[in-house]
Chain A
């Protein structure tokens, strides 16, 4: 019995540590951006950029983040080309969001290039994350 309790508590403890480490990941990434020269992050600047239209010269169409992620972040979006479902970005309904640094970096890079036509600055990326943290 003692053994079982010990085992269980080890499992619970490691889960808790793991969860804490994950919860911190978005902040870890933001401090990385600050180390790269960004200042304080602003959710409202992030939101402005999120909805700002950018003209894609090749297709002649306007693009913003809502093009794929939809207007309501607690709902799922749709890949503009393939139509494949994109799970909601809001962490209030999707606990997997903002928990994986590699994943966040990958998509911030790809999606800035697709949507704005260039990579985002450390400041811009941190602002996006600040906006998303509140969703």
Chain B
């Protein structure tokens, strides 16, 4: 076997592994965002929520209503809108084997298509011990600002050791 062929095989093997781990591979959090267009278009105004945080039906509904996106106008041209919808749907929580995605999805009632991640039962349950005053902090405002407290949120890691709440400190049991 020549070296070119071997290196080709290694390359395609590596790409395959990456593709598998991006979606099917069961990480402990949610799969991190791996799409530049998404990170730029959506991450300009808010935390770039990982696709694995909502099921496919939610993403489809959300992407069909960008002209009224939680009272904001977030319209895109149709080419970009479709690209992003495809990305979100492909990596949606109900197609993911990541631990947090599975827990989030399991907690949503069949047929429900929540648009707000903060309304997902599992997420609500996980945040029930957060003191009310914490959300009044101007830096935090809402549970939807994930990365303000979950300092490792961008990596798809929402473990407790990564929590550091402004004005409150690290979260320890």
Contacts and interface: CB of A to CB of B under 8 A. Distances in A.
Interface string B37-49: 0000000111100
B71 A84 contact: no
B152 interface: no
Interface stretch (A24-32, A89-97, A108-116, A121-129): A108-116
Range of interface residues on chain B? 10 to 19
A113 B76 contact: no
B45 A83 contact: no
A58 interface: yes
Interface size class of A (residues with CB under 8 A): 10 to 19
A59 interface: yes
A67 to B, nearest CB: 12
Interface in A12-60: 58-59
A113 B72 CA distance: 9
B78 to A, nearest CB: 12
Contacts of A71: none
Interface of B: 44-47, 67, 70-77, 138-139, 141, 144-145
